[in-house]
Every structure is written in C-alpha cells, then in structure tokens.
Chain A
Amino acid sequence: MKRVANYLKSLLLLELFAGLGVTFKYLWKPKYTVRFPMEHIPRSGRFRGLHALRRYPNGEERCIACKLCEAVCPALAITIDSHRREDDTRRTTRYDIDLFKCIYCGFCEESCPVDSIVLTDILEYHMEKRGENVITKPQLLAVGDRFEKDIAAARAQDAPYR
C-alpha cells in the first residue's frame, strides 16, 4: 500500500518542482559578480602589492642606501649599490627588485628607517618581456611619484595602530 502511495506521489513530481523553485528563487537574487576592469573589490590600506620608492615633499628621494631592506629581505629580491653624492650624502646608484623572487612579505617596508620603500596596493601589473620582472630605481621612483597621494593616505590611516 505504501509502495503504491509512493508511486502515485512520485507522479506528482514534487521533488522536481521543489528543485525548480530553488533555481527560480536564485534567478532573482542580486549577482555577486564584480565586473573586474570596471569595478574593484575594496582593498585594505595594508594591502601589500607593487613596490614604490617615495620622495620628500621637496622632491628629494628618501632612500639613504642603508641597505636594511636588502639585509632583511628573506627572498634576496633586493639589490642595492650606493655611492657618495656631490653633497656628501650617501645615495643609491642602483635599487633593483626582482618581482619574481619577492614574496611581498613587507619586511623591507618595516625595516626602512625613512619610510622610503613601501608596498602599494597596486596588484594589476604585468611583464611582456624576459627581464622586465626586475624593476629598477627609476621605475620604483616613478611608481612612488604617481601614487604618492594614495601611499601617504594609506600610511596615515595605519599610523595610529603602529
């Protein structure tokens, strides 16, 4: 008797209609999709992305070639050469970061006594040729110049917690 009842119940296709109900409900739900190039998900000010070298407001570069970042870098991604500039200050002649070696740990930024090397929140960048993974001092300075406002704002936001 129960088998007959179950058979008749199966003819009503109740499970199938329940399933259709679920998909119909989801049809109207707001979509999670972020339209990536046009939209971005929010990023923290502490995000560790592409590197930059900063300058002081008067245009002088901050880096004093102390090589603390080079020493602390666990991936040995940073290479620095320095010299004595005409005004007798110590400056870098070379500041290379190998982006393939870098693990984006942020130790270089932590170690920097003058807040020169920073990790920005830029995460969309690419290389087209072999060798472009090593970014040089002018490139790093250019990134810093271009995004100085964002970098400063992110540092100011984080300052009370440090």
Chain B
Amino acid sequence: MTAITAAFEWFINTFPTLSMALGLFLFPLLPLIIAVAMYVYWERKVIGWMHVRMGPNQVGPLGLLQTFADVFKLLLKEVIYPFQANKPLFLLAPLWALVPAFAAWAVVPIGSYTAWSNANAGLLFLLAMTSMGVYGIIIAGWASNSRYAMLGAMRSAAQIISYEIAMGFSLVSVLVLAGSLNLSDIVDAQAGSKGLFDWFWLPLLPMFVIYFVSGLAETNRLPFDMAEGESEIVAGFHVEYSGAPFAVFFLTEYANMILISFLAPLLFLGGWLSPFPASWGVLGAPGWWWFVAKAFVFATAFIWFRATFPRYRYDQIMRLGWKVFIPITIVWLFVTGCMKYFGWVTTGA
C-alpha cells in the first residue's frame, strides 16, 4: 500500500502538469461527458414516455448506447463553413461556450471542502462562468453570417442578461443567509438538527423557484428556448453548425443544465446533507449520494418542463424577467435581510 502511495507521490512530484491534466480529465471532464451522454439518453427516454412512446431502445441494451452512436456520427461528419463566415471565430465560438461550462466545476464541491478550488468567492466565480458562455453564443451568431443565427444570438444575449439579474439576486439572498461566498460554507450553513427543514429552500422559497426558472432561461431550455426557437428561427445561433462544432454546442448545453442541476441543491437544498435527522443512522448521514440524488431530481425536472410547457413569446419572457422576477427578488432580498438581522432563521449546525 505504501509503495503505491509512494509511486503516486513520485508521479505527481515529477510530472506536476501532466498529473494535473490527468486529474482534470478524471474529474470533471470524463464523468461530465459520460453524464451528458446519459442525460441526453434519459431526456429522450422520459420525453418519450411522457408522449406515450418508448424512446430510444435499439442501440445497445435498452438503447443506452444511442447517444454515443449519435456523437460518433456527428464527429465523423463534415464541418460545413457558411459562405463568407468568419472561420476562426466560427470555430472559436463552440469552444468559448464549452470552456466556461466546464471551468465552473472547479469550485463545485462534491463533499465538504472537496473541490478543485476551495475558492472564497466560489459563488461569484460560478456566476461569472455561467455568464461567460453567452459570448460563445453571440460569437457563433455573428460569425455564421446568417440572419437566423444572428437573431438567435441576440435573443439569447438579451434573455441571459435579463435573467442574470434575477438569478444574481436570488444568489445574493443565499449569500446573506450563509454569510459566505464559499460553496462548502454555504452548505454547512444549512446543516442542522431538523434535517430537511434547516435548508435554505424554506426561508427562500420564492428565490428557490426563481433561481431554477432563471436557470432554465440561462441554459436556453424550454420554455425559454428563444435562442433556438425552431418554429421561428430554425435553430437559432447554431443553425449553420454541423459535425463536431455542433456536437460541442450540444455538449455545452447539457453540461450547463447539469451544472445548474448541481447548483440548485448546493445553494438551496443542503448539497450533500441528508434530508433526515442525523439520529437516523445511515439514512441521516451526509454523503455525495444525496448530492447526486438531488441533482438528478432537478435534471429530470428540466426534462419534465420540456415535455410539458410550450415556448414563451419573446415579450412574455422579457415581461417575466423584468416585471415579475426582479421585483419579487428585490422584495424577498429585503425580507431575507430582516430574517438575518432579527434572527428569524438559524444557520449553521
């Protein structure tokens, strides 16, 4: 055992950059890519079930390999460059969208203080990274030299800017209650003897709803998928993309959804904490499985919403963002401040 540990340490000390790259590949890159593949499969399955269909069931056992088949098909296809497209930017755009979606995982803890970076301003970093992705979309829309793509990009930009504010306010309320921007601190602030009822979703219920709905808008998911809007602008910002760059956009969208699904439990539902009181033994013990289970519920909710709601009209989206969400968040931010100031809620174990 010690020999293995020694070899491990020798490797890390001799090749620090290589071992860092390998580590990043093992987490979050590889698990995230596999999770995206499984998530796409799960989405097609659940939406199929809700349509009283079966969903993919031919490729591999139960159709589990369907997404991998699709990905390899996309990667092997030719990349078509539109007429007079700006080629460097055209290729840069998907990467620009993808990198923030993966970089955000640097601060996401999978257990208490178990993250690549235990940054003090983790929440701020997350907010920054989720906003960065929109540049990829805007560049894609501009570089494609296509009207549809341009319209999709502009819609996406306006939408993300609008909902960022509401999302930011809801995160601020979490910050006010937890008293820290560090994500592990935020989860620890939700620990308590009452289990489920100590988490922030209870005092911050409106903020929790607004956070998740804004998350839908930020990731351009239904019912806020104006940036794609098949019935109006074909496929929006990625209408001119084919082959591998399109696959990257696809990966980005789902990676972002998974990220939002993991952040919701982290900020509002006590992350890896158990919903049961600590006295319940195994069930009451915190662990990464609680975290994954909660995130899975949110990820499935994304799919559920897609199967249920029709797309909003554009002006309705703007109205919801500016005239409903922002006033509510401002009011509830004030209420949260009162809660904290007068000690109506207790935080921390």
Contacts and interface: CB of A to CB of B under 8 A. Distances in A.
The A interface, classified by DSSP as helix, strand, loop or mixed, is helix
B49 A31 contact: yes
B297 to A, nearest CB: 13
B46 interface: yes
Q: Is the interface of B mostly helix, strand, loop or mixed?
A: helix
B65 interface: no
B66 to A, nearest CB: 15
Interface residues of A, number: 16
Interface stretch (A14-22, A71-79, A133-141): A14-22
Contact of A27 (B50, B54, B328): B50
Contacts of A26: 49-52
Contacts of B52: 26, 29, 31-32
Given A19-B308, A19-B309, A20-B304, A27 B53 contact: no
Contacts of B115: none
B196 interface: no
A44 interface: no
Contacts, number: 35
Interface centre among A11, A24, A27, A29, by most chain B C-beta atoms within 10 angstroms, is A27
Contact of A31 (B46, B54, B304, B307): B54
Interface string A108-124: 00000000000000000
A63 B283 CA distance: 79
A58 interface: no
A22 B46 contact: no
A20 B53 contact: no
Interface of A: 11, 13, 16, 19-20, 22-24, 26-29, 31-33, 35
Interface of B: 46, 49-54, 57, 209, 304-305, 307-309, 328
